[in-house]
Chain A
Amino acid sequence: MAMTDKHSQMLDRELKKGSAELLILSLVEARPRHGYEISKLIEARSRGALSFHVASLYPLLYRLEKRGWIEGRWVEKAGQRRRRYYKLTKEGKKVLAAQRSTWQSFVAAINRITDTENA
């Protein structure tokens, strides 16, 4: 975890709780990815601000799978161990679109508030 102090750890968890689903759904939107790849991408794209452990990532993946938003499948590639790839389902696409617009209006609202304070 990048942030170390207790305060930021809490913030991290709260933020993750709300947004983690959105993050994962967006990451598997373009193409199927496996768990490790997803965790690396989150870490890389947030420039280390966000990171998921095994203990938090996989339960989330299984939950999304159970809801039918993503679908995991074992894929064997030549010369590699088999890996479980997750892809977005039809239903997942709808959920993603909805969550995305909610998130954007949420961010926009937050921005408007914080910007006026600063202005």
Chain B
Amino acid sequence: MPDWKEEIRKRLVSLKLSPVREAEIVEELSQHLDDRYRELLARGASEDAAHRAALAELSESRMLQQELRRIEQQNAPEPVVFGSNRRANMIADLWQDLRYGARMLLKQPGFTLIVVLMLAFGIGVNTAMFTVFNALVLKPLPIKDADSFVAVRGVAPQPGQRARYFFSFPDYQDYAARNQTFSGLTLMSEVGATLGIENRELGAPREEFGVVNCQLVTANYFSVLGAEMALGRGFLPEEERTPNTHPVVVLSYYFWERSLNCDPQVIGRTIRLSGQPFTIVGVTNQEFIGTEFIRPVCWLPLMMIEALRPERGANWVTDRTLSSFYMYGRLKPGVTVAQAQAELSQLTAQLAQAHPDKRTDKPRNTAVQLTRAPTFTTNDNEDDAGDLLLALPLSVALVLLIACANVANLMLARAANRQKEIATRLALGATRWRIVRQLLTESVLLALAGGVLGLLLAWWALSVLYPLLLAQVPIPAVFRASLALNLAPDYRVFGFALLMALMAGVTAGLAPAWQASRPNLTSAIKGEGSVFGEHLSQSRLRNALIVTQLAFSLVLLVSAGLLARNLQKLQTVDTGYETARLFTIEADLGLTRAAQTEALRQQLEMRLRALPDVQAVSRTSHAPLEGGAQRAFVTLPGHGDAQNMPMARFARVSSTHLATLGVPLLHGRNFTEQEAASGARVAVISAATVRKYWPQFNDLSQAIGQSLSVQTEFDEAPNPAAFPVYQVIGVTRDLLTGVVFYPDGPFIHLPFQPGKSGDEYLLVRTRSDASRVMATMYAETAALNPNATVAMRATAENVDMQNMPFRVAANLALVLGLIALALAAIGLYGVMSFVVAQRTREIGVRVALGAQPRSILTLFIKQGMRLIAVGIVLGLLGGAGIARLLALILVDLSPFDPLTFGGVSLCLTSVALLATWLPARRAAKVDPMIALRHE
């Protein structure tokens, strides 16, 4: 049988088919010719004739080539020849790179696992943080037809001026009546209130929830936001006509579910908010959470604002300067945001002209800005936290960068081991770009795997760790349940993780790929690349990467150290009094029953005094460590400028207050019960007050007998001549009564006049654990007056609450810092091990020539030390940068605290030295005989 294959192949050669495809075609066609040949023989043709006839089938070979070229070359895959240098199909190349890369990575599962894990950590922390950011800032509120729902905020008349973001009720009424573009505008205001709910069974004590978050809204709120009710109804128009006449409430679903067990009979029942009864008329459905990420327990008609905020007075209905409400709106169908914004801005300008504000420092807005599909943070003031918010994303980005540097170093080491392979490919004609692409594909492949794992890590951290961490936070369960943050990952989170992975892949892969693709061909193929020193540039890149890692991790350690020191200072901060065994009671019967409330408070005070566990009781207008006290205009009599009146914090306290706090007087005396009851104009002031108003006094006692003009009522145009004048009778040391992280400044204790102030607390000092007494007081209060609402808080808990953000920040920074330190140590260890392995032959020669193990050890330690030293210097500079960002939350601690900077440098140095010493010791133990046989 003749062999046709050669004949066929000759005719196909110009097509440059892939070897596999060519073999297939050759086989198929030659078979055809075989068949033809046999058939001709069977018919009696001679072998020669049959051969010629069969070959005639190929006669139109030009046609064969033409046709095949058209068909086969449309998408011919590139043959698997790595030396290939011609321009070829990018997609096919990519696919080939991917498969090849995956194969190479699977061949070294250990390397792959370490790299993927490191990247997963880096990408994971970044993704977790982004998820929170996304939920707060990017995800639109879960509101029906969010595209026609807008948040409205004011714009200052001139750039640089502070805008009034909020709106007053009379302005709102004008907007609502005069606009043509909205199907509805609504107002909302957040307010805290004590909440109590009667139990159904008679005689059972009422359940108290402490202070909860409520929202006051206009009657159309639910229809504008498109809320549906699970039970009952929303608010009616008549519930918005007159103040204080419709005490009704709509409950939030989560509160109804958690605290009322989804009781279907709840409509018509009464709850007490700050002592005032409200009738439940509805429960929103589960999906509706309003506009704030702290969901309210309930919604109340705006007209009931005085019941919860008596200090606001009654003139909020008519006073255009009292702008404190968020405004939202629903656009009419077909109206664009721009149209609505133009119309509302025009109305705003008209209102500003018709009702100008006398206050020069707060000009009225002349325009508004609308945001469609708002998020949780749309209506927030951006400029509150400032640079501080930068510190966190910066820190987590550093972790990823360290991971990238680590991966880059590992890739570099790996590429060095693959020098032979790369050199062979280059020698076979592959371009450098082709090799770089191959190596980049591998690193991106690794990073994508890291990204997927990181995404899972982030998701796990947020769904498992976050609730666990949240449970540790000392806040009431109702409050914890009210957090509405939706941390489910969405397309933005996936996109972010993908982007991070791609960026990490390229960042970690580019430099090593570039370096690795220019080996010295001859020496690399012969395996001589590692004799007596290596490529200087390669080791330089490796060193640069290590230095970067060390510097970055030092930056993170500096912030962790500063925050830890800060927390330690906060926890041991001297408030001037003992916060343990101290608690406050807020008891209320509602605004309309002031006299009864006063009677209740007096009864409670007497009852408390009678308890054996109670050491002292006082009454005060300011609960310690629940935020800054009220401020009053305070000036020396006859001084003070109405435009720029000095202010100081004050509290009205009963005569037993300082004793209850446990604060002795430095000079002078305390006021008596009689002085307090008669409203005598005497004051006990803090040392800081003396320093501020009488800077010339050398001795605090000189302040005794001096006078101060104190105006506690806020006045737009204060007249110092009309201020009541108080005589200083005592001086205390400076206390921390507002927040633990900021001094009170000048503070004035004024005599407490029973029944004269709205907000008021009983302060109780117990002999033993405060919680025992607190537990009994709910029942005690209910026994005195079953209608009262009660809220109690231990002062120590307030301290915990205030420290919480600092503790969270310190812990977060510590975790990030430790991850960074571990990554940097692994990186340094890896690089030093690699260097030792690469130089084994050199070490062998040195030892053979008489070098002592000691000097070998020193050689490597010195090399490591140089890197560490440079890393630390750079890290300290970076640390100083991040410390400046943190300065805002540092209390009584220099951002350049030498103890922190020194401590973390020492810590980093010791860990880094250990990471250097281990491989160096291995080098010192090298046996010259074995080393010289190496390779």
Contacts and interface: CB of A to CB of B under 8 A. Distances in A.
Interface of A: 34-36, 39, 53-56, 58-60, 62-63, 66, 81, 83-84
Nearest to B74: A66
B30 to A, nearest CB: 10
Given A54-B57, A59-B68, A66-B74, 13 more contacts: A36-B32, A36-B35, A36-B36, A53-B59, A55-B59, A56-B67, A58-B29, A59-B71, A60-B67, A62-B68, A63-B70, A81-B31, A84-B28
Interface residues of B, number: 23
A62 B71 contact: yes
Contacts of B67: 55-56, 59-60, 63
Nearest to A66: B71
B31 A55 contact: no
Given A62-B68, A62-B72, A66-B71, A56 B28 contact: no
Contacts of A59: 63-64, 67-68, 70-71
Contacts of A62: 68, 71-72
A60 B36 CA distance: 19
11 contacts: A36-B31, A36-B36, A39-B32, A53-B58, A53-B59, A54-B58, A58-B25, A58-B29, A59-B64, A63-B70, A84-B24
B238 interface: no
Contacts of A60: 67
Nearest to B75: A66
A84 B31 CA distance: 10
A56 B32 contact: no
Contacts of A66: 71, 74
Contacts of B35: 36
A70 to B, nearest CB: 13
Contacts of A34: 31
Nearest to B21: A62
A80 to B, nearest CB: 10
Contacts, number: 57
A84 B32 CA distance: 10
B61 interface: yes
A42 to B, nearest CB: 13
Contacts of A58: 25, 28-29, 32, 64, 68
B799 to A, nearest CB: 75
B58 A55 contact: yes
Contacts of A39: 32
A105 to B, nearest CB: 29
A46 B807 CA distance: 92
Contacts of B61: 55
Nearest to A81: B31
Contact of B31 (A53, A56, A63, A83): A83
B29 A54 contact: yes
B60 interface: yes
B248 interface: no
Nearest to B39: A40
A62 B67 CA distance: 9
Contacts of B31: 34-36, 81, 83
B762 interface: no
A3 B297 CA distance: 96
Contacts of A63: 67, 70-71
B33 interface: yes
Contact of A55 (B28, B60, B72, B74): B60
Contacts of B68: 58-59, 62
A36 B40 CA distance: 13
Contacts of B60: 53, 55-56
A53 B33 CA distance: 10
A56 B29 CA distance: 11
Contacts of B36: 36
B50 to A, nearest CB: 15
A15 B74 CA distance: 26
A39 B33 CA distance: 12
Nearest to A38: B32
B582 to A, nearest CB: 83
A27 to B, nearest CB: 15
A54 B35 CA distance: 12
Give the one of A55, A60, A81, A84 with max B CB within 10 A.
A55
B744 to A, nearest CB: 82
B64 A54 contact: yes
B63 A56 contact: yes
A28 B351 CA distance: 85
B449 to A, nearest CB: 34
B577 to A, nearest CB: 86
B795 to A, nearest CB: 79
Contacts of A81: 31
A55 B57 contact: yes
B57 A53 contact: yes
